[in-house]
Amino acid sequence: MKRALALSFVLITAAACNRADAPPSRFGFGRAATPAEIQTLDIDVGPDGVGLPAGQGTAVSGAPVYAAKCATCHGSAGEGTPIAAALVGRIPNDSFNYATSTGGDRRKTVGSWWPHATTLYDYIRRAMPFDKPGTLTPDEIYAVTAFLLAKNEIVKDDFVIDVTSLPAVKMPSRDRFVADDREKSNRVR
């Protein structure tokens, strides 16, 4: 009886492992995404501005957008709240010494930390407002970007931010970042 049971188990197991029962290479549902569908998701912006859409904004036009869509979390002046980080605040005369900082005293705001202004646009475009990401128009994003750059004393209130001017904005920390080649990744400037 034991032999018959063992033989049955082996035969059933062998039958279950039959290669003919391999899953199909295609399941017969879904379709390939169209170029238009892919383009709606291809919204990243590089440090050089590649990927920026048409549009423009100033700090003046960005103030009401910030007040309506950003201040609830980040504070009315970008000072931060218990639920969201500070966006405004630079070290006086931009003299913060990143090389000697222990880390705890690094205040990472738009004005003191971000290396590229285009990264600010990219992040706002993809992730903000937190409760409704992707709902801001390109002009609103340019305006909020200009507002934050002006609040951090990087551009003037009437400076027009657009596809050409945004990549040209020199952030205070740009030269403090180094390429991480993984050979000496603890380098700082």
| CA–CA–CA angle 44, 170, 174 (5° rounding) | 75
Contact, 136 vs 69, CB < 8 A?
Answer: yes
Average pLDDT, 10 consecutive residues per value, the chain (189 residues): 75 67 76 88 91 97 97 92 87 51 64 89 95 95 97 94 97 79 61
Residue 16 falls inside a structural domain: no
User: For position 3, what pLDDT does the model report?
Assistant: 80
111 to each of 32, 65, 88, how far by Cα in Å? Answer: 42, 20, 6
> How many structural domains are present in the chain?
1
Residue 32 falls inside a structural domain: no
User: For position 144, what pLDDT does the model report?
Assistant: 98
Contact, 66 vs 152, CB < 8 A?
Answer: no
| Structural domain boundaries, residue 105 | 55-180+185-189
Residue 162 falls inside a structural domain: yes
Residue 21 falls inside a structural domain: no
User: For position 184, what pLDDT does the model report?
Assistant: 62
Beta-bridge mates of residue 81: 84
Residue 1 falls inside a structural domain: no
Residue 36 falls inside a structural domain: no
Rounded-to-10 torsion of CA 126, 168, 101, 153: -90
CATH of the domain at 131: 1.10.760.10
